[in-house]
Amino acid sequence: MKSISSDRRIETARVAILDHGRLRVATEFVPLLRTNGLDTFDRIMTAAGGRMMRSVPGRSTVRIELESPGGGKAVAFLKRYTPQYLSTRGRWLRRIHWPGARDEALHEWRAMEQLRAHGFHTAAPIAFGQARSNGIVTRSFLLTAEIVGGVAAHHQLPTLEAKARRELLLAIAALTRRFHGAGFAHKDYYLSHIFVVPLEPLTTIHREPSSGPRLHFIDLQRLVRPRLLAERWVVKDLAALGYSAQLAGATEEDLREFLERSVGHEVLTARGRRLLGRVRTRIRALQRRKPKYDVIWDQPGAHPHNV
């Protein structure tokens, strides 16, 4: 498997290493963190205030406002991991460097850098940090910039008329086809993890147009880019998108065209038809058992950015 975290060339040219190696900051954001006294790992991990966006045992995401060096405010999202997040089994797997047990903060930092290197949009990575105990990472954080003007696709979709709703879904389908074509799989690919920055109205539905909305990926701690992208990961991603699109008001006709455009020309092949059948089966399974975090889509005012 191609490791997201193995590509150091992208990272080292653009980051400053602070606090004896425990903190890495995108160079353009070093003045921002220093202005706010957040230039060490411990200061960021213990920073108080902000608005809690999500909290589960050992992991939280907080929306914080920072003072910009030139005046004004800058909004960022701070995702923190503490020892409670690691089970005994997780600690053991991390100790033997099991791929699925890697530090999620570092993995997501590298995932954002690699996606951006391939021409995809993400939240801008500001900083990440790690601290070790007994040889393994037990505390870490990821700090990302606000996607200015962005709205989660699951909030945007219900506000649109039929034509605009279809155009947005087809733009997401084109993005998804390009994303999978580049060998990536998200593994948590619900509409809540795509942010829409509206630009000019869409002018075509055959590709992702430069004049259409800018689409950003968020929540990338599970993203992978294996040497050979298994069909099961494509099925998982498309089913998650299809399921969440229906929750957000997509019609059956919307869903059919969305899935076909996501698969592209392969929809005409036996393999493409089989893949779509598997996606439909998985969507029905999601409808029966429901993912753990359906509440994210059921609260239109929540806007959980980068959770």
Residue 304 belongs to some domain of the structure: no
Domain that holds residue 130: 4-145
Q: In what order do the strands lie in the sheet with 214-217?
A: 121-122, 214-217, 194-197, 151-152
Q: List the structure tokens of 152.
A: 């989660």
Q: pLDDT value at position 292?
A: 65
Residue at which a domain ends, from 119, 145, 171: 145
Q: What is the pLDDT of residues 66-125, one digit of tens each?
A: 999 988 999 999 999 998 888 888 888 888 888 777 889 999 999 999 999 999 999 999
Residue 282 belongs to some domain of the structure: yes
Residue 182 belongs to some domain of the structure: yes
Same domain? For 41 and 132 the reply is yes
The pLDDT of residue 167 is above 90: yes
Nearest one of 15, 231, 241, 238 to 112, comparing CA atoms? 15
Q: What is the pLDDT of residues 183-239, one digit of tens each?
A: 999 999 999 999 999 865 443 333 344 457 899 999 999 999 998 899 999 999 999
Same domain? For 115 and 164 the reply is no
- Cα 158 to Cα 29, 130, 189, 248, 285: the distances in Å are 35, 39, 18, 6, 23
Same domain? For 199 and 95 the reply is no
- Cα 45 to Cα 4, 29, 229: the distances in Å are 24, 17, 36
Indicate the number of domains in the chain: 2
Same domain? For 116 and 187 the reply is no
Cα–Cα distance, 186 to 196 (Å, whole number): 17
The pLDDT of residue 182 is above 80: yes
Residue with tokens 């590709």: 207
Contact 175, 213 (CB under 8 A): no
Residue at which a domain ends, from 145, 170, 197: 145
Same domain? For 177 and 137 the reply is no
The pLDDT of residue 61 is above 60: yes
Residue 302 belongs to some domain of the structure: no
Residue at which a domain ends, from 145, 168, 184: 145
The pLDDT of residue 277 is above 90: yes
Same domain? For 141 and 158 the reply is no
Same domain? For 132 and 162 the reply is no
